[in-house]
Chains A and B, each alone.
Chain A
Amino acid sequence: MLLIHCPYCEEDRSELEFRWAGEAHIARPENIAAISDEEFAEFFFLRNNEKGLTYERWRHIHGCGRFFNAARDTVSDRFLLTYKAGLPKQPVPVAEKFAAIAEEKSVETWEQTEGDAR
């Protein structure tokens, strides 16, 4: 059960109160009616699904109701940063980044534990 810092409530709350809302910083094109099929596919269908540091949206749906952005390490599940919706992509502080890297090394990944079995 993750613990998530809501940038509006300014408090850590249980994952129970939140809902994940997909990759962050994908702006809906202003001229959406005019974009090409490729641009539409890029905007609507294609996601990076990155391993490691990813920026994603969450909604504090059973709390303040706000959508916000989070930088999370998908390997360790650590939240490195959360910030309000509408702000540009925030850099992850260096200290957090180091901690994340150390953690990544310490965390058992599927590849490490089961990958060999495959």
Chain B
Amino acid sequence: MLTKRSIWAAPMLSALILVLFLATWQLAVRDTSPTAGMDPEYAKLMGAAVNTGKSAMPTPLDVGAKLVAAVMDPFYDNGPNDKGVGTQLAYSLARVLLGFGLAAIVAIPAGFVIGMSPLIGAALNPFIQVLKPVSPLAWMPIALYTIKDSNKSAIFVIFICSIWPMLMNTAFGVAGVRREWLNVAQTLEVSAWRKAIFVILPAAAPTIFTGMRISIGIAWLVIVAAEMLVGGTGIGYFVWNQWNNLSLADILLGVLLIGVVGMALDRLLGLCASAVTWRE
């Protein structure tokens, strides 16, 4: 009885919170009274905020309507500066995966080296500590100046922001492999290469995946900001473009989609991590 209730209790409570939230939202942004006595000719030239006292904040229904429209036609193409949200998300995902993939190619081997060699680890540590806290967006002007291509610069920014958690976690996981296992490998005269692939990698895999999970989360956070800066395509550009138009309903739609995609990415790497997790 108790178990059955606990299965349903959390989702029910979630639904209740959502309903309460939406209801409060709907009530909070009701129209105020319109400005009285305005010249009708003048009123024609003014926006809804002035004419009907409509709040600049959209209602949940406005956002819902946008969501339906976006889901019905996610890939429309009205020219280079106006594409559907599906297309925009695809651009952002492609950038994130490319930058993240490149970072993984660099960070995981480098993390191995740092984790296996305390000397190299100690030597590189000051550099890593200085570079790690730099906001990835601070790299943007430098990237634009040196790489001379805005799209590659955005990918570079993703690369630079996702490299550190993977590097640190890989190094930590590799350094933390149990002494006994390494000793056994040494006793059996396993080559360094085999030791790395068959002993250290499986042992460190859960930590490495944790690093990757943190990285993809950061990368997804950063891509929105990077695309706002360089523009052109991507979900970040979509949000920026709608901000210029002060269309908050579209911005909220963007926020919702960014959240959902971010969650999906996190779940995906979470599943990978649990697949390689081992218990003693």
Task: Please say whether chains A and B are actual partners in one complex.
Answer: no
Residues of A at the B interface (CB closer than 8 Å) are none
Q: Write the residues of chain B forming the contact surface with A, with a CB cutoff of 8 angstroms.
A: none
